Structure 1
Amino acid sequence: MAAPSDTSELKGLIASGALDPREIVAVIGKTEGNGGANDFTRALATLSFALALEPHLGRAKEAIMSEIAFVWSGGTEGVLSPHATVFTRSNASTIPPASPRLALGLAMTRDIAPDEFGTPAHVILVADAVRQALADADIKDPADVHYVQVKGPLLTPAAIASAKAAGQALVTDDPNGSKPFARGAMALGVAVGLGEVQAEKVTPASIARDMNLYSKVASTSAGGELTKCEIILFGNSPSASSDYSIGHATLKDALDASAVGAAARSANAAVEDIVTVFAKAEASTMLRGRRTTMYSDADINYERHARAAVGAVIASVTGDPAIFLSGGTEHQCPPGEAPIAAIVRARS
């Protein structure tokens, strides 16, 4: 993508017949915004893609935006490339291959009320939607899930002002400061929905604080362009007939290049089979015994430091800078670690 509004390659794929727009169910991509509460490139990208699809789908952009899951993460620091990955689902009758193949499930919560935001109620809403997505993907065993992308709202200034006027208590009155609560609640929702964490262990005091509660496959992002949480669950299903499969691993730290190959091997493939990578970037004050300035730099946000560093490490292995990489790992893998997933061309 040459800009957040650039849909030329999408249109080209449709015009060539390589992509049937009626089969599009999700779009996940990176924009060159700042990734903060005031990053409007995400909304611009969604609007642009919906407008590009209008003439092909015969529906208004509002309907398209409600039917297709659009997940954008702002921030393409360093070598990261602005791009979009388009996911399609075909109902064509085919014989499933011998091994489980890539399947995705979609679900969406209702609107998250400001006073629910960052609370156990937020977690339960996401957990319920994760279970719906699991069924939609026709995946019976949660162990076959390798990546769950959740995008949800953060607390906007307008939402904060409205809640205060109504006398509602909020977890924070800082829009940018609400991002950890959003990411944390959504990640715990994935953990509860997949059985990685028991619901009764999630308390108001644990969200965005007790990092010993986590999911190994959650990847969550927050933005002001949403009011609901969108869940896109990826795994391998024996009923799927895709040409791809998916695996995951854990980045032990920002320099863990070996995790890229581990994610591919998790899908019974090798690095050269990788089609695309999804990961999170964890900032740290110390890295392998050396001090970093990620958290003390007043000029550059710590998430931007982390995205630039981890993006370069992953791209050095894959040779492809079109990586979906977002910052903030609250409740996503053990403290200090981060998730990584790889979609690969299936070998068998």
Structure 2
Amino acid sequence: MSRFQRVDAHVVPCQGPGDLSGVQALIEAGRLDARNIVAVMGKTEGNGCVNDHTRDFAATAWCHFLAPHLGCDAQQVHARVALVMSGGTEGVLSPHFTVFTREWVQAPPVHDGKRLVIGIAHTRDFAPEEMGRMAQVQATAEAVQAAMRDAGIAAAADVHFVQVKCPLLTSAKIDEALARGVEVATRDTYESMGYSRGASALGVGLALGEVDAQRLSDAAILRDASLNSARASVSAGIELEGNVVIVLGEAPGSASPLRIGHAVMQDAVDTAGVCELLQTHFGLDPRRDAAVIAARLVNLLAKAEASPDGRVRGARHTMLNDSDINATRHARAAVGAVLASVAGRTALYVSGGAEHQGPPGGGPVAALMRVA
């Protein structure tokens, strides 16, 4: 007898990176079965930079929370559930977790179209000298393809969003590599976040056929901005050594109550691109159908970065020159406000640092929508 994939998603607010009381309440109310949790994408209230330990704190809290439900120890949870914690909820953004569940049901879908599916995969751990280089690109591409198989997605066109969590270089990792006589992509720990994100994004683009493999090299990473993915979202952190990959897409035969669509914001204030996404994929006008969007929207998933040329629509911005607040924090706040103005809500997944993720100064955006 055939079984059908059913994926659901819940957005759960939190009072801090370790606060899972909202998740517990859903479980106690019978709305969420912890055994079916396959991925968690969290927005935590740290600085999103190298020393943001709120990401590790949140991931550790989830591991200890899920271990008894999954019948394993906390360390084994990472292998079974994709935990992606993105630091930084500047401006109006609200800390929250987006919890994805997947189960296999006997009842066939009651529709003829495509619905949401999800797949996860992990790369191997990377040596310090591999981060931000072709080794990370290739390993990420292989993991994306594995996650597509896990999701049951055959065509790259049916992939709408690929969330990757990648590692960064710390001083200890850099010193260890240099002691072995090997050079790393950069000796700047903060800059290493960009290299790791960029290489991972190019891996997504390679897997989905968005970039030409012949144009990829170590030298192209963070230098050739014409190479980018319209569906990659990558967050770097200190809490892991390899990449975690979540593929979100659609497939026929899915019994999920959700759909997903994606677009690309051309710059940080591209409300038109977000509105077009809602209209094209879901037939909803943000002004006319605000109440419907409020009722059906699960989350907007987006990337944000300060335009590297120092301008937004021809006007100079100062985000890159602020010595007090990092540019990625400015960008998250700006894009978060733009998306909130369209969605009418602030618990939105906006991740900073969009190297090779959409055009320079812009970035991919996807909408998770509950079917009417």
TM-score normalized by structure 1?
A: 0.97
In the alignment, what sits opposite 2:297? Answer: 274
3-state SS of paired residue (2:319)? coil
**Aligned AA (2:318):** T
Matched, 1:44 2:67: no
1:233 alignment partner, one of 235, 244, 247 = 247
3-state SS of paired residue (1:84)? strand
In the alignment, what sits opposite 1:155? Answer: 169
1:305 alignment partner, one of 302, 305, 330 = 330
Mark the runs of 5 or more structure 1 residues left unpaired by the alignment. Answer: none
1:255–1:313: 8 Å Cα contact kept in structure 2? yes
Matches within 5 A, 1:51-130: 51-96=64-109, 97-130=111-144
2:37–2:101: 8 Å Cα contact kept in structure 1? yes
Note the alpha carbon deviations across 1:226-275, whole angstroms, 9 max, x for none. Answer: 11101101111002110001001111211111222222234334251322
Q: CA RMSD, aligned part only?
A: 1.2
Cα distance between partner residues in 1 of 2:315 and 2:129: 41
Matched, 1:133 2:147: yes
1:20 alignment partner, one of 33, 47, 72 = 33
1:318 alignment partner, one of 343, 356, 370 = 343
Q: CA deviation at 1:51?
A: 1.4
In the alignment, what sits opposite 2:7? Answer: none
**Farther-moved stretch of structure 1 (68-77 vs 54-63):** 54-63
Note the alpha carbon deviations across 1:131-187, whole angstroms, 9 max, x for none. Answer: 111111111111111100011101122211111111111111111110111111000
Cα distance between partner residues in 1 of 2:50 and 2:107: 44
1:248–1:262: 8 Å Cα contact kept in structure 2? no
Cα distance between partner residues in 1 of 2:127 and 2:172: 12
Q: CA deviation at 1:33?
A: 0.5
2:229 alignment partner, one of 212, 215, 239 = 215
2:366 alignment partner, one of 332, 341, 344 = 341
Q: CA deviation at 1:107?
A: 0.8
Matched, 1:203 2:217: yes
3-state SS of paired residue (2:357)? coil
**Aligned AA (1:18):** R
**Aligned AA (1:13):** L
Cα distance between partner residues in 1 of 2:366 and 2:198: 19
**Aligned AA (1:263):** L
In the alignment, what sits opposite 2:18? Answer: 5
1:28–1:85: 8 Å Cα contact kept in structure 2? yes
Cα distance between partner residues in 2 of 1:26 and 1:60: 17
Cα distance between partner residues in 1 of 2:210 and 2:106: 34
1:25–1:67: 8 Å Cα contact kept in structure 2? yes
Mark the runs of 5 or more structure 2 residues left unpaired by the alignment. Answer: 1-13, 287-292
1:255 alignment partner, one of 248, 252, 269 = 269
1:133–1:233: 8 Å Cα contact kept in structure 2? yes
Aligned length: 347
Cα distance between partner residues in 1 of 2:354 and 2:185: 19
Note the alpha carbon deviations across 1:74-104, whole angstroms, 9 max, x for none. Answer: 0100000000010000111221321100011
2:266–2:362: 8 Å Cα contact kept in structure 1? yes
**Farther-moved stretch of structure 1 (287-296 vs 146-155):** 287-296
TM-score normalized by structure 2?
A: 0.91
